[in-house]
Chain A
Amino acid sequence: SQTIHQWPATLVQPVGSPLSLECTVEGTSNPNLYWYRQAAGRGLQLLFYSVGIGQISSEVPQNLSASRPQDRQFILSSKKLLLSDSGFYLCAWSQTGMQFFGPGTRLTVL
C-alpha cells in the first residue's frame, strides 16, 4: 500500500532563515506530487505541483520554491522566510484524480 511521509512535523524558525521541508511517497512510482499551504482560518492553497522528476509548476508567486530530485521525493524550500510563511504545509500525491495527503508540517515563523 502507498504511504506518504512529511518531516519535520513542527518547525519554529526566525524571519529571514532558510527552510527545507521534505515529502516522500512509498508504494507507487511516478506519482503526481503537490505542496499546499493552509493558513489559519483559510482553505487550502496549492503552491506547487510536479508530474515528474525535475518538473515543477508554480501556482502562486512567492518566496518559496520546490524541487523533485527523485521520483518519490518532493522538497519545499525558501532562502529567507517571511512572517506570512507561517502555516500548515501539506504534501499530497494523486491517483485517478484523488489526492492523498501526508500528515503535514506546522511552520511558525517568528
Chain B
Amino acid sequence: AQSVTQLDSQVPVFEEAPVELRCNYSSSVSVYLFWYVQYPNQGLQLLLKYLSGSTLVESINGFEAEFNKSQTSFHLRKPSVHISDTAEYFCAVSERGYQKVTFGTGTKLQVIP
C-alpha cells in the first residue's frame, strides 16, 4: 500500500527567504507524485506533478520539486517566497494504473512579512 509523510505540519518563513516543504512516500511500484495547494476555504489546486521523464518539475509561480527515487522523496522548494504563497500544501502519491490518490497530512506555509 502507498503512503505519504509530510513531517512538518507548519513552516514559518520570512518573505523573500527560501523554503523547502518535505515529502516522503512509500510504495512498492512505480508512482505518480503531486503537490497541491489549498488557500483558506477553497478546494485543492494542482501545483505540479511528476508523471515521468525529468525528475525536476516546475510550476508557473516559481515552485519546483524533485523526484528522488532512491530517497523516496518529492520535496517542494521555492527560492524566494511571497506573502501570497501563504497556504496549505499537500503532497500526494498515486500508483500507476491505480485509481486512488493518497494525500499527506499537509504543511501550512506561513510567510511572515
Report if A94 contacts B (CB, 8 A).
yes
With A46-B100, A94-B99, A98-B49 already in contact, the answer to whether A104 and B42 are too (CB < 8 A) is yes
Interface, chain A (partner B; CB < 8 A) = 6, 32, 42-44, 46, 49, 51, 88, 90, 92, 94, 96-104, 106
The reply to whether B96 and A103 contact each other, CB–CB distance below 8 Å, is no
Report if B103 contacts A (CB, 8 A).
yes
Interface, chain B (partner A; CB < 8 A) = 32, 34, 36, 41-46, 49, 51, 90, 92, 94, 96, 98-101, 103-106
With A90-B44, A101-B44, A103-B42 already in contact, the answer to whether A44 and B103 are too (CB < 8 A) is yes
10 examples of A-B residue contacts, CB within 8 angstroms: A43-B90, A49-B99, A97-B96, A97-B98, A98-B32, A98-B49, A99-B92, A101-B36, A101-B43, A103-B43
Contacting residues, chain A, for B42 (C-beta < 8 A): 103-104
Contacting residues, chain A, for B105 (C-beta < 8 A): 42-43
